Amino acid sequence: MDGSLKFTAENKVLIQGITNSLGATYAPLMQAYGTQVVAGVEAGHRGERVGDIPVFDLVEHALEAVTDIDTTVIFSPPYEVLDAALEAIAAGIRQIILISSGVPPLDMVRLLRKAEQAETLIVGSDSPGIIIPGEVLLGTHPAEFYTPGNIGIISRSGTLTYEVALQLTQAGLGQSIAVSIGSDRVVGSSFQQWLQMLEEDEQTEAIVLIGSIGGDGEEVAARYVQEAIDKPVVAYLAGRTVPRDQPMGHAGAVIAPRLSGWEEAIGTPESKIAAFKAANIPLANRPSEIPGLLQNHLAQTLAEIAS
Catalytic residues, by residue number, are 250
H helix and E strand count, the chain: 10, 14
Cα–Cα distance for residue pair 127/280, rounded to 1 Å: 28
* Burial class of 153 by CB neighbour count within 10 A (0 to 12, 13 to 18, 19+): buried
What is the distance between the alpha carbons of residues 186 and 102, in angstroms, rounded to a whole number? 10
Type of residue numbered 282: P
Whole-number Å distance between alpha carbons of 289 and 102: 32
SS3 240: coil
- What crossing angle do the helices spanning 269-278 and 217-228 adopt, rounded to 10°? 0
The rounded distance, in Å, linking the Cα atoms of 56 and 52 is 13
Q: Classify 304 as helix, strand or coil.
A: helix
Backbone angles phi, psi at 91, to 5 degrees: -85, 0
On whether the CB atoms of residues 18 and 59 are closer than 8 A, the answer is no
Contact by Cβ (8 Å): 24, 50: yes
